A and B are shown apart, each in its own frame.
Chain A
């Protein structure tokens, strides 16, 4: 932090657009709902634990949806659970983001054909911002997904809506 200390000790002023400031603040401390579903949840836990350290991107699990910004759907969504996930999503305050982690929540994964109790893709109940492929995705893949989400937030505007859902393409 030595560099920044010197920058700010002499009462310097930083000029930025409100939008940029908001976006920067939002993307640097995304609190996720502390919530796991299936196998991918274990990888999500591994991502938060030592070795991969999710914390360095400002992501920490919050037990309550009312205090979180992002929900990571980590695993197979069943019909019984889909109703609860929708409720959880509705309880989160705006702005809220969704990362769909793993094949199961992207499209049903290995259960797409015979899974009589599996919802084929969480995007059938809630809107998804970033899809992370893999079964299960490696922690690095989840980190990449988070960076994509940060990129998306960086380009958001408070006046005009984002032009399309695509990540990394500015309007």
Chain B
């Protein structure tokens, strides 16, 4: 794959005109209802103008009308591939605002759930990325494993996708008696599957040709745009809020932060961003294993406040969601409803840099680049 510089084509004697191609909102590879306006010079991308808002569900308005605990089901529906982590972030923010200490068992369960959710989310990202590029089999394999995780969530809280499980100051229920056993079984079965996935997809020649060296995101640009999560780590920066802005009990575990090394091409290309996710799943498995070993007994509902009425003030808290930095900015005016909740959605920020990534590539590469940044439209539009 080669990146074309637009100046060269301008010099050619053939007179060309710009063409505008519309992609989406109904397109199988836009991961939802994203609309991209591609400005083309022949087959080469000159500019990409994303149009968003096709799934704008007024989350922030709802927060102002709801009481603090009632906001939690709505946070689920923002990033619907990582619902557990959205609740986690909101609960952490509210606990800091209210200055609540949660029991240790709650923290352990939250970490286990959060990391399981991270694996489930990455499995969807990897599976659909393969499907976008033309490898359909990994999609089925990834969804097979994801079903196992969803089953674990289901026995815990009864829902497959949107949980309402992590509450302010605690959890809605304790774990199911079978949970620990089933999770151990899952980890045992899943480890070889990651290897299988690597053989099927990561080191597949066609896949590498489509993704290596494509859509390189330089680190300086990434930071200036505020890109975070696996996309930033793919560009070679060791930045993970679990270590760099610690919350919950992540300091108790031993795990690595994988970064893109440019193994198949340049640092920060699509393959790097993809492979960081594969490695992160293994790191999450490590965290879950340790957490299961150490989990203490205790009550999970004891610290839940009966009536939540925080003092006047404001707080910005962020957590490392599977897609990057998920921030909650909450302003309280001393009443039962929040005065303002603003969500800093990682995909929203990442989507801004997308135009830069695509410039000079072919139309077919847009799909490869879009899949590699792994966006969720529910979170972009909120």
- A116 near B26 with CB under 8 A, answer no
Judge whether A138 and B160 touch: CB under 8 Å: yes
Contact A43 B161 (CB under 8 A): yes
A-B contacts, CB under 8 A, total: 100
Whether the pair A76, B57 counts as a contact (CB closer than 8 A) is: yes
Q: Is B113 an interface residue (CB 8 A)?
A: no
Q: Of A39, A43, A65, A110, which is in contact with the most chain B CB atoms at under 10 Å from its CB?
A: A39
B147 and A50 contact, CB distance less than 8 A:
yes
Please tell me if the beta carbons of B28 and A37 are within 8 angstroms of each other in the complex.
no
Interface hit among A7-15, A22-30, A80-88, A151-159: A80-88
Cα of A152 to Cα of B61 in the assembled complex, Å: 40
- In the bound complex, CA of A118 to CA of B59 (Å): 11
Which chain B positions have C-beta within 8 A of A133? none
- Give the most central of B54, B146, B150: most A CB within 10 Å: B54
CB-CB under 8 A for A115 and B57, given A39-B378, A61-B28: yes
> Closest Cβ of chain A: how far from B122's Cβ, in Å?
14
Q: When the two chains form the complex, which single residue of A43, A49, A65 contacts B26, counting CB atoms closer than 8 Å?
A: A65
A38 to B80, Cβ gap below 8 A? Answer: yes
CA distance A41 to B55 in the complex (A): 12
Q: How many residues of B contact A (CB 8 A)?
A: 36
Q: A39-B80, A136-B162 are in contact. Are A117 and B26 (CB under 8 A)?
A: no
CA distance A115 to B62 in the complex (A): 7
Contact A39 B61 (CB under 8 A): no
Does A94 make an interface contact (CB < 8 A)?
no
In the complex, A61→B80 CA distance in Å? 21
Contacting A at CB under 8 A, from B125-178, are: 127-128, 139-141, 143-144, 146-147, 150, 160-162
**In contact, A118 and B28 (Cβ under 8 angstroms):** no
B24-50, CB < 8 A from A:
25-28, 32-33
Contact of A114 among B65, B124, B140, B162 (CB under 8 A): B65
Separation of A26 and B245 alpha carbons in the complex (Å): 57
Q: Is the Cβ of B57 less than 8 Å from the Cβ of A118?
A: yes
7 nearest A-B pairs in the assembled complex, by CB-CB distance? A49-B143, A39-B80, A50-B144, A81-B54, A50-B140, A63-B28, A51-B147
Please name 13 pairs of A and B residues whose Cβ atoms are closer than 8 Å in the assembled complex, sorted by A.
A35-B26, A38-B55, A38-B80, A41-B32, A42-B124, A45-B124, A50-B140, A80-B53, A114-B58, A114-B62, A115-B58, A117-B56, A118-B57
* Beyond known contacts A36-B33, A45-B128, A110-B74: 13 more, CB 8 A cutoff: A38-B55, A38-B80, A39-B77, A39-B80, A42-B80, A42-B124, A46-B143, A46-B147, A81-B25, A115-B57, A115-B61, A118-B58, A136-B160
Which positions in A face B, CB cutoff 8 Å?
Answer: 33-39, 41-43, 45-46, 49-51, 61, 63, 65, 75-76, 78, 80-81, 84, 88, 110-111, 113-118, 135-136, 138
